[in-house]
Amino acid sequence: MTNVQSTHFDALQTIGINSKKAAASLTGLPTAAKNDAIKSISEALRSKAAIILDANREDLEAGRAAGLSESLLDRLMLDESRIGAIADALIELTAIDDPVGQIVDEWERPNGLRLSTVRVPLGVVGIIYEARPNVTVDAAALCLKTGNAVILRGSSSAIRSNMALVAVIRDAIETVGLPADAVQLVEDTSRETAARLFKMNDVLDVLIPRGSANLIRTVVDQATVPVIETGAGNCHVYISESADKEMAIHIAVNAKTQRPSVCNAAEKILIHQNWPHTAELVQALQWEGVVIHGDEGIIDRADGVLVASDEDWAMEYLDLEVAIKVVSSTEEAISHINTYGTRHSEAIVSNDTAEAAKFQIGVDAAAVYHNASTRFTDGFEFGFGAELGISTQKLHARGPMGLPALTSVKTLIAGSGQCK
């Protein structure tokens, strides 16, 4: 056992050392060289699709034998069309501005020192994720674009697909003269190596978990390296007294039903006690097949509503299910959201701009909407051209993360012999 463990650890140590070397050689690389590498990956994915699909089939067979659910198998599955979509997305990524080298600030001090703060790569980025093999390509390309080396740790159910994809990626970037070790996969998917990865402070500048709430919680609890937490969305739509009837129903139904399984879908609706259209809203949701839980105020005003329990207010259904509550004021709505929300996306529907401003200031969340659906919290919808996930923490990056979230800064100081 000790020998097996130390073998794991040595493999991981080698990955760590090689990552740091690769990161050093990516530093200061021109944007064109990084884009060439990404284009090379895009071409290689298409030309070597057969190899990737063979490996993916083996994962799918093993997954079926192990009794994975149909939805997990679907997330794991690749085909020509999905590989084509991944390859297309890489070409789109090459068109996005490279944040590295951008000057964030420039200034001069009275002693003549000239300072400039510039964006630089983070260094070595760790990504730990589940099932979906498209994340393998996505994460590798986003890290390359920002000059970071990446250590990928996917799940055992996708290991054959990931090994095939990473072999293709490494070969493609080596072809254009970049170090293959810029992209490395942890092939040992045991818990022991994951636990070891969580504590590689000498190697990882950041570790980003992408996947279930459970995975994210484990990483946050166990990691000593810096983590960017991407998380749950218990999002609310608050319909104020002055809300337009049609707009409120449209937004609430869209936010709940347009894609109920995602983190920016609404899970709760709060309605001001004087808004007169609660019954119609409940009906509109029911027509879309939504199961309604409500407090007493809702049960009084509408039919076919289940009694909401205390747990409902904190729950993320991720399904055609919603809990609705009557509140007596905007303050009560804000307080309820700040108590039960997950600081992701919150919306107010209101024709009163002062009230909307109060809500937007008072609600503590990454994105606060006035008269729009919560479903727009997304890197692409925000116009970032790429998305690394949606941060629900407050340090470094909050909300949809574009490429700058994979960068740090460095201050360059030019002097003429200044001493203190």
Q: Does residue number 27 form part of the binding site for its own copies (CB under 8 A)?
A: yes
Give the three-class secondary structure for 293.
strand
Query: Any contact of residue 242 with its own copies (CB under 8 A)?
Result: no
Round to whole Å and give the CA distance between 131 and 204. Answer: 22
Applying CB under 8 A, which part among 20-28, 133-141, 169-177, 271-279 lies near its own copies? 20-28
- 362 binds its own copies, rule: CB under 8 A: yes
| Structure tokens given for 270 | 């709060």
Q: x-or-dash pattern for its own copies, window 251-270, by CB under 8 A?
A: x--xx--x------------
SS3 at position 276? coil
409 binds its own copies (CB under 8 A): yes
Nearer to its own copies, 168 or 216 (CB): 216
HSE of 118 in the Cβ direction (CA atoms, 13 Å)?
Answer: 12
Residue 396 engages its own copies in binding (rule: CB under 8 A): yes
**Closer to its own copies by Cβ: residue 279 or 413:** 413
Among residue numbers 37 through 76, which ones bind its own copies (CB under 8 A)? none
Does residue number 381 form part of the binding site for its own copies (CB under 8 A)?
yes
3-class DSSP state of 268: strand
Backbone angles phi, psi at 325, to 5 degrees: -135, 140
- Among 340, 276, 349, 335, smallest CA distance to 312 is for 340
Q: Is 354 in the site for its own copies (CB under 8 A)?
A: no
Shortest Å distance, C-beta 358 to its own copies: 9
Q: Cα–Cα distance between 168 and 88 in angstroms, integer?
A: 16
Q: Please, which residue, 156 or 408, has the CB nearer to its own copies?
A: 408
Whole-number Å distance between alpha carbons of 375 and 404: 22
Q: How far is the CB of 347 from its own copies (least distance, A)?
A: 8
CB of 394 vs its own copies, minimal distance in Å: 4
Asked if 19 is part of the footprint of its own copies (rule: CB under 8 A), the reply reads no
Task: Name which position in 4, 24, 51, 103 contacts its own copies (CB under 8 A).
Answer: 24
Antiparallel, parallel or unpaired: β 206-210 and 390-391: unpaired
* Region near its own copies per CB under 8 A, out of 44-52, 154-162, 201-209, 271-279: 201-209
- What is the four-CA torsion angle of 126, 400, 213, 89, rounded to 10 degrees? -60
Out of 31, 242, 286, 371, point to the residue binding its own copies (CB under 8 A): 371
Question: Is the backbone of residue 101 left (phi > 0), alpha (psi -120 to 50) or beta?
Answer: left
Give the residue among 87, 84, 93 at the shortest CA–CA distance from 34. Answer: 93
Please, what is the minimum distance in Å from the beta carbon of residue 159 to its own copies? Answer: 29
Class of residue 116 by CB neighbours under 10 A (exposed 0-12, middle 13-18, buried 19+): middle
Q: Determine contact, residues 133/161, Cβ cutoff 8 Å.
A: yes
Interface residue with its own copies, options 224, 261, 273, 274 (CB under 8 A) = 224
- Nearest residue (CB) to its own copies, 67 versus 417: 417
Q: Which is nearer to its own copies, 69 or 339 (CB)?
A: 339
Contact pick of 171, 318, 360, 385 for its own copies (by CB under 8 A): 360
Which of 43, 187, 286, 376: binder of its own copies (CB under 8 A)?
376
| Residues between 94 and 133 that touch its own copies (CB under 8 A) | 107, 109, 113, 115, 120, 122-123
Q: Is 370 exposed, middle or buried (0-12, 13-18, 19+ CB in 10 A)?
A: middle
Task: Pick one of 367, 390, 401, 403: the residue that binds its own copies (CB under 8 A).
Answer: 367
| Residue 273 found at the interface with its own copies (CB under 8 A) | no
CA 270 to CA 323: how far, in whole Å?
9
What does the CA dihedral 330, 333, 337, 339 come to, rounded to 10 degrees?
A: 110
Min separation Cβ 399 and its own copies, Å: 5
Q: Does 32 bind its own copies (CB under 8 A)?
A: no
Give 312: exposed, middle or buried? Use CB within 10 Å, 0-12, 13-18, 19+. buried
Q: Which residues bind its own copies (CB under 8 A)?
A: 24, 27-28, 107, 109, 113, 115, 120, 122-123, 201, 205-206, 220-221, 224, 226-228, 244, 247, 250-251, 254-255, 258, 338, 356, 360-362, 364-373, 375-376, 381-383, 393-396, 398-399, 408-420
